[in-house]
Amino acid sequence: MARRSSARIILPGLERATRNDQELHFDAFKAARGNCHSKVILLTIPKSGTYMLASMVEKLGLVDLEVHLSESLLSDYRGMSLEEKVSQARLVNRDIPLQVASRMVQPGQFAVGHIPCSASTRNILSPFTRILCIRELRHALASYARFELKRIEADPEWLPDAREWASANTDTRRLHGFLSTFGEGYLALARSILSWAHEPNVLVCRFEHLLGDEGPAVQESIAAAIALQVGMPRCLGIRTLREVVGKPTLTYSGQRTTLHGIWDDTAEAIFRRLGGPEVNEALGYR
């Protein structure tokens, strides 16, 4: 009688997956596999719907590894509650580079990451099914500021040398400080990510389309495209998307961020000085 496949712990939080009682030749984040024959990576600009898209892909039948990949390290959120993922963010980084982490993802599983498009990352991620999610950058930055403020409030030791902006007495002034502190780095990262849109077989989806800003037909079309991209029937796309829109995720702040009342002429001047409109235009926004 054949024994069931299992997973044994080799390091705290890591598993060595087994198949047919034979150990695989690399360590795996999780042993479970989902309903997809390929490995999937969600490539996103920060605050463009990363975890909403992740929730949708999980509902489509893939295994969420709960790891956030980057070129030099990863953030390991496995087994943590949403509250812990916010309040303990400074404790989750692991010195596992993308070249290694990519081999720890198995077919039927997915990871997320704000990963620049370069010759090296294109080669490393070539075996993956890839989905790129983008968003208009003014809204993304305003949303990012809200999220980082939430982290600061949850953890007194988060960003100890770059949190002065959070003590401003209005949302608009906090946004000014955030843009001045982090805007340049954010836009540089966005610029480095956008080239994925020109790679073959990369599905590009817009945050605004996922939320239905362009109407139900566009929303249903991108939902179907996501389902097909991960090998699922297109009819499952819109159903799973509607199940996750507006639901709590790691970076969801409780309501959609708008610019009304916070994005003023000063914020726009900072955005323009940093080259924001040019990056926005490259992403297909004004």
Q: Which amino acid is at 70?
A: S
Whether residue 15 is contained in a domain is answered as no
Q: Look at the chain and report how many structural domains it folds into.
A: 1
- Bridge partners (DSSP) listed for residue 64: 110
Give yes or no for a contact between 147 and 101, defined as CB atoms under 8 angstroms apart: no
pLDDT tens profile 91-118: 999 888 999 999 999 999 999 999 999 9
Whether residue 18 is contained in a domain is answered as no
Q: How far is CA 34 from CA 40, 65, 214, in A?
A: 11, 11, 31
pLDDT tens profile 39-83: 999 999 999 999 999 999 999 999 999 999 999 999 999 999 989
For 189, the token pair is 């990262």
Domain span at residue 183 reads: 32-282
Distance separating alpha carbons of residues 232 and 120, to the nearest angstrom: 29
Whether residue 25 is contained in a domain is answered as no
Whether residue 192 is contained in a domain is answered as yes
Whether residue 93 is contained in a domain is answered as yes
For 97, the token pair is 């580079």
Alpha helices in 194-256 (DSSP H): 207-210, 216-229, 235-244
Order of strands, sheet of 14-19, starting from the edge strand that comes earlier in the sequence? 7-11, 14-19, 22-23
Whether residue 13 is contained in a domain is answered as no
Which CATH number goes with the domain that contains 270?
A: 3.40.50.300
pLDDT band at 17 (very low <50, low <70, confident <90, very high): very low
Whether residue 20 is contained in a domain is answered as no
Whether residue 2 is contained in a domain is answered as no
Give yes or no for a contact between 227 and 236, defined as CB atoms under 8 angstroms apart: yes
Strand duo 109-113 + 14-19: pairing? unpaired
Strand duo 63-69 + 39-44: pairing? unpaired
pLDDT tens profile 203-224: 999 999 999 999 999 999 999 9
